[in-house]
Amino acid sequence: MKINLATSAGFCFGVRRAINIAMETAKINKPVFMLGDIVHNEEVVGQIQKTGIKKICRLSAVKKEKILLIRAHGCSRGTLQKARKLGYSIIDATCPMVKEIHAIAKRLENDGFKVIVIGDKSHDEVKGIAGQLKTKAIVIDKPENIPLKKIKSIKKAGVVVQSTQNLDKTLEIFDILRKNIQEVEFHNTICKPTRAKQNEIKIMPLKNDVMIIIGSKTSANTKRIYEISKSLNNKSYWVNSSKEIKESWLSRAKSAGITAGASTPESTIREVVKKIKKQ
Ligand code: SF4
């Protein structure tokens, strides 16, 4: 069987950078904490835990010196201020591309635009973007959830996008906003690695008999890649590891396309390729 591995499969630049920063920070002889998991992948989370970095759900007062490691998704200004006030030293692993979205959102607000974020309301990156602002941002996750009445009352809106959003869905939402708001400044802040993944996944399912998408079931960007793949090729399968691959999926296939979400480690991708080669 021919195996076609996507060139964009696996860790993006921001995740790789955040993991490296975490590994380096763990070498400092001080307790290190993180608000939530470093990335949405169980294997990577396990590796980080082994370094001694602890995951916490909320900040509490610090007696001895402690470090708070900010993840690639970033966080709100309020969280940073609270952490500093409570005595944490901050090491910031926010992806530079997320930082850029923060800067654009703040600039839009300062210039008098109502900020609209296209993204998933409950995702930490979106909370971090909205959390840069003095006023409440409007967050829109899908066209059917656009608050039209509210939108129509806005004269000037500035739009930014969660870095991992689906481009087609984003453009659909933007089109509705454009038709209902007098002045709209649109910033397509979907990051380069996400665009590369989405471009490949629009072609690979059409050129392969079977598609295998690797990533944790908690990973939103893997879910988006899987959804695009499934819409183009019904034989698209989402697995977290090589153990989940079923022989029957590949029995009559002549080619298998493989890709992986931005938080999937290379070791997992290698195992999947190895297992499919054996079929
Ligand atoms: S998906 Fe994009 S924005 Fe998010 S961490 Fe990766 S490179 Fe950065």
Distance (Å) of CA 47 to CA 18, 42, 233, 265: 13, 9, 34, 11
CA distance from start to end of the chain:
8
Is 119 in contact with 126 (CB distance < 8 Å)? yes
Q: Residue 64: pLDDT band by 50, 70, 90 thresholds?
A: confident
60-77 mean pLDDT:
91
**In the prediction, which pLDDT does 258 show?**
98
Question: What is the 9 CA–ligand 1 centroid distance (Å)?
Answer: 13
Mean pLDDT, range 75-95, rounded to an integer: 95
Nearest CA owner, ligand 1 atom 8: 14
Say if ligand 1 is within 6 A of residue 21 CB.
no
Q: Give pLDDT tens digits for 138-185.
A: 999 999 999 999 999 999 999 999 999 999 999 999 999 999 999 999
Kindly give the interhelix angle for 13-26 and 96-110, rounded to the nearest 10 degrees.
110
Name 115's Cβ contacts closer than 8 Å, sequence gap at least 6.
105, 108, 109, 130, 133, 135, 137, 138, 157, 158, 159, 160
Q: Measured from the CA of 191, which atom of ligand 1 is nearest?
A: 2
Which atom of ligand 1 is nearest the CA belonging to 72? 5
CA angle 31, 35, 41 (to 5 degrees): 105
Quick one: pLDDT band at residue 47, thresholds 50, 70, 90? very high
Residue 279 pLDDT = 76
Region 237-242: mean pLDDT is 97
Ligand 1 closest atom vs CA 98: 3
Residue range 94-111: mean pLDDT, rounded: 98
Separation of alpha carbons 224 and 221, rounded Å: 5
Segment 234-261 mean pLDDT: 96
Catalytic residue among 24, 42, 100, 125: 125
Mutate to test the pocket of ligand 1, among 95, 101, 126, 166 (most ligand atoms within 8 A of CB): 95
Report the nearest-CA residue for atom 5 of ligand 1: 14
Number of neighbouring beta carbons within 10 Å of residue 97:
19
Distance CA 138, CA 230 (A): 30
Q: What is the pLDDT of residue 62?
A: 78
The reported pTM is 0.92
Task: State residue 60's pLDDT score.
Answer: 86
164 lines ligand 1 (CB under 6 A): yes
The stretches of the chain forming alpha helices (DSSP H) are 13-26, 42-50, 77-86, 96-110, 124-130, 148-152, 167-180, 192-201, 204-207, 220-232, 247-250, 266-278
200 is catalytic: no
Mutate which of 12, 13, 223 for ligand 1 pocket (most atoms within 8 A of beta carbon)? 12
d(CA 208, CA 189): 30
Domains of the chain (ranges; CATH) run 2-10+193-278 (3.40.1010.20), 13-95 (3.40.50.11270), 97-190 (3.40.1010.20)
Q: How far apart are CA 199 and CA 193, in angstroms?
A: 10
